[in-house]
Amino acid sequence: MKKHSVKTISLLLVLILITSLLSACSSDPGNSGTASGTETETQESAPSEASSTPEEVSADESAEVASEESAEAASDESTEVSSEENAQDSSSENTEKQTSEEPAEPVSKVLVIYFSHTGTTREVAAYLHELVGGDLFEIVPLKPYPEGYSAALDPAKKEQRENARPAIKDPIESIDQYEVIYLGYPIWWGTVPMIIHTFLESYDFTGKTVVPFATSGGTGIGQSVEDIRSEIPDTEVPDGLLVRNNEAIAPWLQELGLIQ
Ligand SMILES: Cc1cc2nc3c(=O)[nH]c(=O)nc-3n(C[C@H](O)[C@H](O)[C@H](O)COP(=O)(O)O)c2cc1C
């Protein structure tokens, strides 16, 4: 009885050994039915690894996946870093821009604007501008008057008779920023040339100060200042100056408290 059971056990062991050997021989990773697409790709793309055991393959794969993940993470990180760097770069660029940019020029609150036919008032305006600073602008008629004093008399008289508003060529865009406006002109027929009315009617002078100055062949400035005042009643218009000599300008401006 003992001998028989030993034999049976030995047979069983042999059977188990044979079965396990057979199963080991017949196990093929390609036919296992559990291979994923990734594994197939891995084998196709890496034939030298075909002899690896499933454990080895999966270990390799997990290593690959892990390295891919870490590569991705690294690339993500590097993207983040580079985008951070870019952000830093651009912010430092901005800082550079901000610091390298010239400080904005203060907006001028003073305007010297004038009309001149034969150049006398232009010279006075340039002199006055040196004293008061700010912006200098010339009022130019769209349709030029005939050159010279005598040639301009008739068209100017006609304009006055017709109460015309001669158009201005490239007029100043805005006078909003100015608080004090020096307005220069020649006396024509005892008052302002009609183009000065065009100018006064084109903008809002409310709350501003308009300081008249003029040149003439002999007539005073009085009537022209009255005409300006009635055109812009909500504007401070001090008594103007008829300039016969530039030396008179500074004392007049000091008297008005416009310069020191
Ligand atoms: C059409 C016209 C009318 C003028 N009317 C007068 C006038 O009424 N009284 C006066 O004293 N001078 C008069 N003048 C002379 C100018 O006022 C004077 O020459 C002025 O300085 C010219 O300035 P401007 O060179 O800036 O144009 C007149 C000149 C012109 C062309």
> Which residue has a Cα nearest atom 3 of ligand 1?
188
DSSP string, 192-229: --HHHHHHHHHS--TT-EEEEEEE-SS--SHHHHHHHH
pTM score, two decimals? 0.66
Give the pair of three-digit tokens for residue 118: 């034969």
d(CA 62, CA 39): 11
Q: Is 191 in the pocket of ligand 1 (CB under 6 A)?
A: no
Q: Is 188 in the pocket of ligand 1 (CB under 6 A)?
A: yes
193-249 pLDDT, tens digit each = 999 999 999 999 999 999 999 999 999 998 999 999 999 999 999 999 999 999 999
Of the listed ranges 11-20, 74-83, 107-116, the least confidently predicted one is 74-83
**CB of 160 closer than 6 angstroms to any ligand 1 atom:** no
**Residues 244, 230: contact at Cβ < 8 Å?**
no
Q: What is the pLDDT of residues 47-87, one digit of tens each?
A: 333 333 333 434 444 444 344 444 444 444 444 434 444 44
- For the CA of 116, the closest atom of ligand 1 is 26
- 139 contact partners, CB below 8 Å, separation of at least 6: 113, 114, 115, 168, 171, 195, 196, 199
For residue 124, the SS3 value is: helix
Q: Is the CB of 126 under 6 A from ligand 1?
A: no
The class that CATH gives domain 110-255 is alpha beta
Residue ranges per structural domain of the chain = 53-102, 110-255
Average pLDDT, the chain: 77
pLDDT score at 14: 66
Query: Which residues 6+ apart lie within 8 Å of 40 measured at CB?
Result: none
